[in-house]
Structure 1
């Protein structure tokens, strides 16, 4: 199981709910939540998250820009789970083209989704 999870969503309530679900489901895990994708991106190297849960639709720097910057700066070692309100197949296909995107899921995060994801991906620190 991951030891460090980064949440990137401009909605504070979404981060709060996701953080609680992660902590209650995974137990001993550090969760870093950001409402600013730009600030989150600046902290990646310092935090070294095992997984980043990334929203797509955000102001200033959206999830696509976040992923493109990761790709441009060779940060594909950081694994990403897209967690978004988008149900668009086009968005899903686009997201899965990034080598570090492991999955594309619709909000809200729930215990079943989290357990299923981590069992399937076999992520470990």
Structure 2
């Protein structure tokens, strides 16, 4: 990999998963900065504020989105997420659900790059960041 992704993002309310992913991303030096949001609403608020300030360079290049969260779940986030304003973002749905209808539904969103089942393998994590850098 040439250089790490400037900004990565995890949207997930599972602290254990977030801590593990954060540790792996830092250990492997895959991202210079990592944003973490506990639900979709926190992420939407950050994206809207960042765009209003004209700070597109503060938007993530890689987003990992969980589906089951309080306040605003992943499906609600996908409905509100504006991929045009976040051009250059690769959004991955990362869920423990292996339900084919969830996978198909997620892949119908044009903003979704791929669906990854938890737990994510380290090689998959590295491939995601390599393709975004």
Instruction: Quickly name the TM-score band, shorter chain normalised.
Output: 0.7 to 0.9
Q: After TM superposition, which residue ranges in structure 1, 4 or more long, deviate above 4 angstroms? A: 73-76
TM alignment of 1:37-76, pairs within 5 A: 37-45=40-48, 46=50, 47-71=58-82, 74-75=84-85
**Where does structure 1 lack aligned partners over 5 or more consecutive residues?**
none
- Can you list the C-alpha shifts for 1:46-100, whole angstroms capped at 9, x where unaligned? 23010110000112211000001115x8546232111111111111111111112
- Unmatched tracts of structure 2, length 5 or more: 51-57
Aligned to 2:132: 123
Larger Rg: 2
TM value normalised by structure 2: 0.80
Separation of aligned partners in 2, 1:58 and 1:6? 15
Name the stretch that deviates more: 110-119 or 44-53: 110-119
Determine if the alignment matches structure 1 residue 91 to structure 2 residue 82: no
TM-score, with length taken from structure 1: 0.84
Structure 1 residues 61, 28: closer, same or farther in 2, change over 3 A? Answer: closer
- How many pairs does the alignment contain? 121
Q: What is the aligned counterpart of 1:20 among 23, 27, 33?
A: 23
RMSD: 2.0
Instruction: Describe the SS at the equivalent of 1:26.
Output: coil
| Matching residue of 1:101 | 112
What's the CA shift for 1:40?
1.5
